[in-house]
Amino acid sequence: MSEMTLERTDTAKALPSWLRPGWARVTMLVAVFFAVMSLGNAGTGALSGTVIGALVLGPLVAVFALWLYRRLIGWTEQRPVVELDRSTARTGLRRGTVLGLGLFTATMLVIWMFGGGDSLGWGSFGGLLASLGVSAAAAACEEIFFRGIVFRLAERRLGTTMALIVSALIFGGSHLINPDATIGGAIAIAAEAGLMLGAAYTATRSLWLPIGLHFGWNLAAGGLFGVTVSGSDSYTGLLHTVLSGPAALTGGNFGPEASVVAIVVCTVATVFFLRAARRRTRQAVPSINA
């Protein structure tokens, strides 16, 4: 029995009448997890300067978001939540974190190699610890919302390619609320992170790798190098890095994520993930019954 057939039979019988229409379930999931993501990110962001607060609250928010997703998806879709399979959690998170750290470090090295580095000094070990908590909450909440909800549900109707584009654009646009956000920065985030994280999910059909990748990237940016993260200059990292030069190279006020270098580095990873997905035949085609 297909997943869509299951939704129309068993799920409809198990749910209260107000949740039986497909649009009602989608609306409920989007509203709930948008609220969790917004409140979680706002809370941990407000505590980013408080080491203990951020270090404690961040993982708690992440765990709560994962628990809530598993419970709600299991209930509304009446299926095992395979995208959060506990048996693959450790491997997926570890590989994603290492890859995220590596990709952002490569981005910084290329920027520095082409003359975008101004100065490099020591920052704050406490800032690194606070960034651990903030990054954990942001990675879990945003990946659950943008890949677990937006991408996965869009893929049912539109197929993988269009779902990647739509979810990436929404992901990029969501960063326009940051203090030093720019249209160019939002487009860059969509082109690099939005597509890359969606491709990582497509290749694995698991949220663990994208969560780890998102976590490692943000931790490297704010916690390790101490640069502006997606237009938010509230991070004090282990290092204090000052960049200078054309915005195309350094990303300007938005941070290195708006640089051409970051787009190129992440595009390489995106292509790798999409090729892996194609080899594993994990790309979906549009469903006219979705």
- Dump pLDDT digits (tens) for 39-76: 888 888 777 678 888 889 999 999 999 999 999 999 99
- Dump pLDDT digits (tens) for 60-70: 999 999 999 99
pLDDT of residue 6: 39
Task: For residue 139, give both structure tokens.
Answer: 């990675």
Burial 230-247 (b: 16+ CB within 10 A, else e): bbbeebbbbbbbebeeeb
pLDDT of residue 9: 46
Q: What is the pTM of this model?
A: 0.90
Rounded Cα distance, 249 and 72, in Å: 43
pLDDT of residue 116: 95
Enumerate residue ranges in the chain where pLDDT < 70: 1-14, 48, 234-235, 282-290
Rounded Cα distance, 233 and 229, in Å: 6
pLDDT of residue 7: 42
pLDDT of residue 290: 42
239-243 and 117-122 as β-strands: parallel, antiparallel, unpaired? antiparallel
Tell me whether residue 100 is exposed, middle or buried, using C-beta atoms within 10 angstroms of its C-beta: 0 to 12, 13 to 18, 19 or more. Answer: buried
pLDDT of residue 46: 75
Q: What angle do CA 34, 58, 130 make, to 5 degrees?
A: 130
